[in-house]
Structure 1
Amino acid sequence: MSTVAHDQFSYFWMRILTVTGRVLFAAVFLHSAFIEFVNFGVVEGPEAEALRPKYDQITARVAPLLGYIAPEIEIKHVIAATIAVRVIGGLLFIYGSSVGAYLLMLYLAFITPIVYDFYKYNTEDPKFFRVFVMFAQNMALFGGLLFFIGLNNQMAKKRSNKNRRSSKSKKGT
């Protein structure tokens, strides 16, 4: 096998593997959005019932620190927005868009400290470990998104430098 054919073969498999990885990664967000959408209705679903007291606690703690009172919001609107962000972000991420990664990071940054509030529990409490593991998993997903964005930026710079060099060599001939 010639080196050109080998490079093309390697590139082909690299593309297949990266797309597969992005699909599997985004599936976590798309699946959770689908499950919440199915449970979403006119009446607040189980997610809203779980989120409301946690949201109220966070706003009660943060509002005095920031010096303003958080406006009253409908939790079902928050859940609808998080569903939309996960679906749009997940689909854009599958297509390799950094915008999708940023949307998923926004979702994780907003929801993780509210939903997985391990800091409220004593370390001997059995719930502490379960909540902390979910918090750590979301932080790992956040790290994976940071890695993807960094890699995307690095690849864009390489392509830009390669295009710049090839355009200079064409001008010189």
Structure 2
Amino acid sequence: MGFVSFLGRVLFASLFILSARQMYNEFGADGGPAAKEFATKFSVLQKSLSSVLGVRVPDVDLLPLVLTTPILYDFYNYPRDEPQYGLLLNEFLQSTALCGALLFFIGMKNSILKRQLKKKTPKTKTV
């Protein structure tokens, strides 16, 4: 039973590993088609934010995911009857769920660190 479980996990993980490898190969040296599309959308967003706010966005690890999600998956620019709307909305919701999972992970990491600091050191027993 243990070997069958292990084999199932390996086959399941191979799906994600092969998919990631294929996506990595599609990027090429210049970033591929996704980088070209992202560059144009990001420049438009950057110009509008700088004109409206007049501030520079700080560098935070979670921030790139939060900023790029509405740029890459701009479902709101398409009417609902176009097929791109559904595809972009699905990707947007998946990325939003990933943001939520990252926030949950950061919260759990901080709570574990706080719990470890509150633990008392055990007293040694004498014989």
- Please give the alpha-carbon distance, in whole angstroms, between the structure 2 residues aligned to 1:158 and 1:112: 33
Query: 1:35 matched to which residue of 2?
Result: 23
Query: 1:80 matched to which residue of 2?
Result: none
Query: 1:92 matched to which residue of 2?
Result: none
Query: 1:62 matched to which residue of 2?
Result: 49
Query: 1:113 matched to which residue of 2?
Result: 70
Higher relative contact order (CA 8 A, sep 6+): 1
Q: Percent identity of the aligned residues?
A: 31
* C-alpha RMSD over aligned residues: 3.3
Q: How does 1:71-82 map to 2 (within 5 A)?
A: none
Show CA shifts across 1:108-129 (max 9, x none): 1132121111221223332112
Gaps of 5+ in 1: 1-19, 69-101
Number of paired residues?
A: 108
Q: State the Cα distance separating 1:52 from its structure 2 match.
A: 2.5
Tell whether 2:90 aligns with 1:151. no
Q: Where in structure 1 do 4 or more consecutive aligned residues deviate above 6 Å?
A: none
By percentage of residues, which structure has more helix?
1
**Preserved contact between residue 54 and residue 114 of structure 1 (Cα < 8 Å):** yes
**Preserved contact between residue 73 and residue 88 of structure 2 (Cα < 8 Å):** yes
What amino acid sits opposite 1:39 in the alignment?
Answer: F
- Please give the alpha-carbon distance, in whole angstroms, between the structure 1 residues aligned to 2:71 and 2:80: 18
Query: 1:134 matched to which residue of 2?
Result: 91
- Please give the alpha-carbon distance, in whole angstroms, between the structure 1 residues aligned to 2:90 and 2:25: 24
Gaps of 5+ in 2: 1-8
Q: TM-score, normalised by structure 2?
A: 0.64
- Please give the alpha-carbon distance, in whole angstroms, between the structure 2 residues aligned to 1:152 and 1:51: 32
Q: TM-score, normalised by structure 1?
A: 0.50
What amino acid sits opposite 1:47 in the alignment?
Answer: A
